[in-house]
Structure 1
Amino acid sequence: MIFAAILAGGIGSRMGETDTPKQFLTLGDKPVIVHTIEKFAINSKFDKIIVLSPKNFINYTNDLIKEYFGDNNNLVVLEGGKTRNDTLINAIEYINDNFDIDDDSIIVTHDSVRPFVTHRIIEDNIKAAKEFGACDTVVPATDTIVESVDSKLIKNIPIRDNYYQGQTPQSFKINKLSELVNSLSESESNILTDACKIFVLKNEDVYLVDGEITNIKITYPYDLKLANTILKEI
C-alpha cells in the first residue's frame, strides 16, 4: 500500500505579521495547501492521502478539501503534532490503526508549503522507497557552504560537490520507519529535524532522488512572492 502524508502542522512563525499559517495563505487564486494536495490527489497510486493540520485549523482544512475536492474518500485530515516528527508519528499511527499494511507499504511525506512538487518527483520517490526503503529529494548545492559554530567565525568551508540541499518528499517503508522511531533515545529525538535523519542516526541508507529548483518551500514573505511568479510562468 502507498500513503501520502501532507505535513501542514506548523504555524508558520517566520512568515511575518499574519495570524494565518503559511500553508493557508493564498497563492494565485487558492490556498497554498490546495495546490500541494492537488499534486497528490491526481496520482491514483495513493491508497490514502493524510493531511496533518494544526488543531485550530482542522475544520477549516476539511472545509477547503470539500470545496476543492468534493466528497473525496481518499483524503483525510488529522491533527498535527508539536514537532515535525510528532506530526509524522500521528500519520503512522493512523495508518497502523486503519490499514493492514505489510513490510513493502510506503509513506511519501511532503511539506504542505512546497506546492510545485512534480509528478516525476513523486513517482521517483515511490520507486526509490520501494526499492531502497528510504529516500530524500535533493538538489545539488549551488552556493559555497560555510560552517560556523558560533555564528561569528568560519570553522570550515567544505567541498561543495559533496553537499546537497534537502527538499521533500521524503519517503520510507512504513514498518522500517516505525521501528527506527521507536528505537530513538530521548537525546536522539531532541536533535531531529526531519525523518531522514532518523535513518542516518541508525546507520541506515537513504537514497537520493533528484529534486527541482522550482520545488521551493514557502517560508518567508519573499517566498510567497516568488511562488506567485513561478505560478504565472507555469
Structure 2
Amino acid sequence: MEKTNVYGVVLAGGKGTRMGNVEKPKQFMEVGGKPIIIHTLEKFVVNPQFERVIVLSPKQWITYTQDIIKKYILLSDKIDVIEGGATRNDTIMNAISHIEKFYGLDEETIIVTHDSVRPFVTHRILEDNIHYAKEYGACDTVIPATDTIVESMDNQKISNIPDRSKMYQGQTPQSFHAKRLREVFDELSEEEKTILTDACKILVLKGDAIHLVEGEVFNIKITYPYDLRVAESILGGNGVC
C-alpha cells in the first residue's frame, strides 16, 4: 500500500483586529513565554505523520514568522512559510498549490488545516483528523453546543430555536483530501464563494459528507484580550497534552 502524504496547514493570515490596538497580529503575541503560533506549531512538528507543515502568513510578516520559528523550534526545517490569500479559503488554496508545486499532489494527499491561534490542539485531535480524513475524505473538529442556539433571519427577532442536541460548535482542525477540496472550490460560483465561512462549507454546498471529530472545550481560539488570560491559566495548569 502506498503511503498517504499528510500535510499540516497552519493558517496565520489574520491581523487580530478584535484583540484591540496591538502592534502585531495576535498569533505573535506571547503566552507562557512563547508566541502563540509557536505553541501551535510544536504540536504539528512532533507528530511523525506530517510530511511537512505549511504556515500561511501575511506577506509583510513572512520573514518575522521564519525568524521566530528558527528561534523556538528545533525541527524548523520541516516547516515552510508562505504567503496567505485574501480570504481563508484562498489561503488554503495557496497551501494546496504550494504542496503540488514542491512535493506533488495525488488523490490521497491529506491536509490538516488549523488556526494558528488555537495552541491547545491535542495529539489525539490531530490523530483523529488524519484518520477520519483518510477514511471519509473530510472531517471537522467540533464540540456539542452547551448553550441554546437562537436563529434570527433579520437580526432583530427570533426566527427559530434549533434542537440543541443536534447543534455543535465548530473548531479546527478541518481536514480534507486536498485535491477534492480544490476541485470543488474551483467549481463554485462567485456568489457561492461569498457565503463561505470556512473550508467545510465548500464541500457541504456540493453535498459531500464530512465526518465529525470530537474536539475539546479547551481547544480555544485566542481572539480577544480575555482569551489571553484564559490561555495563560490553561498553560499554568499544565492540563493539555
Counterpart for residue 170 of structure 1: 174
The CA deviation at 1:71 is 6.5
Partner of 1:92: 96
Separation in structure 1 between the aligned mates of residue 92 and residue 178 of structure 2, nearest angstrom? 11
How many pairs were matched up? 234
Identity of aligned residues (%): 59
SS in 2 for 1:192: coil
Deviations 1:182-215 (A, max 9, x none): 1111001111111000010011000000000010
Specify the code of the residue in structure 2 equivalent to 1:48.
R
Alignment of 1:18-33 (within 5 A): 18-33=22-37
Per-residue CA deviation, residues 64-97 of structure 1 (Å, 9 max, x unaligned), is: 1110124632101001111101111110110111
Per the normalisation by structure 1, the TM-score is 0.98
1:62 is displaced (CA, Å) by 0.3
1:46 aligns with 2:59: no
Runs of 4+ with >4 A deviation:
none
Corresponding residue of 1:64: 68
Structure 1: runs of 5 or more not aligned: none
CA–CA separation in structure 1 for the residues paired with 2:169 and 2:15: 23
| Letter of the structure 1 residue corresponding to residue 159 of structure 2 | K
SS of residue paired to 2:77: coil
Give 1:100 shift: 2.4
Partner of residue 165, structure 2: 161
Residue identity matched to 2:28: F
1:201 paired with 2:205, answer: yes
CA shift for structure 1 position 226: 0.7
Q: Among 86, 102, 105, which residue is 2:106 paired with?
A: 102
2:184 maps to a residue whose letter is L
> What is the distance in 1 between the residues matched to 2:148 and 2:123?
30
80-89 vs 149-158, greater mean Cα deviation: 149-158
On the 8 A contact 2:110/2:178 being kept in 1, the answer is: yes
Q: Aligned to 1:227, which of 206, 227, 231?
A: 231
Asked if structure 1 preserves the Cα contact closer than 8 Å seen for 2:38 and 2:73, the reply is no
Q: Do the aligned residues in 1 keep the contact of 2:142 with 2:215 (CA within 8 Å)?
A: yes
Q: TM-score, normalised by structure 2?
A: 0.95
Cα offsets for 1:130-164 (capped at 9, x unmatched): 00000000000000001112222111111100100
Q: CA shift at 1:128, angstroms?
A: 0.1
1:74 is aligned to: 78
Structure 1 position 184 matched with structure 2 position 203 = no
Q: Which amino acid aligns with 1:103?
A: E
The residue type equivalent to 1:153 in the other structure is: K
Paired amino acid for 1:172? F
Unaligned runs of 5+ in 2: none
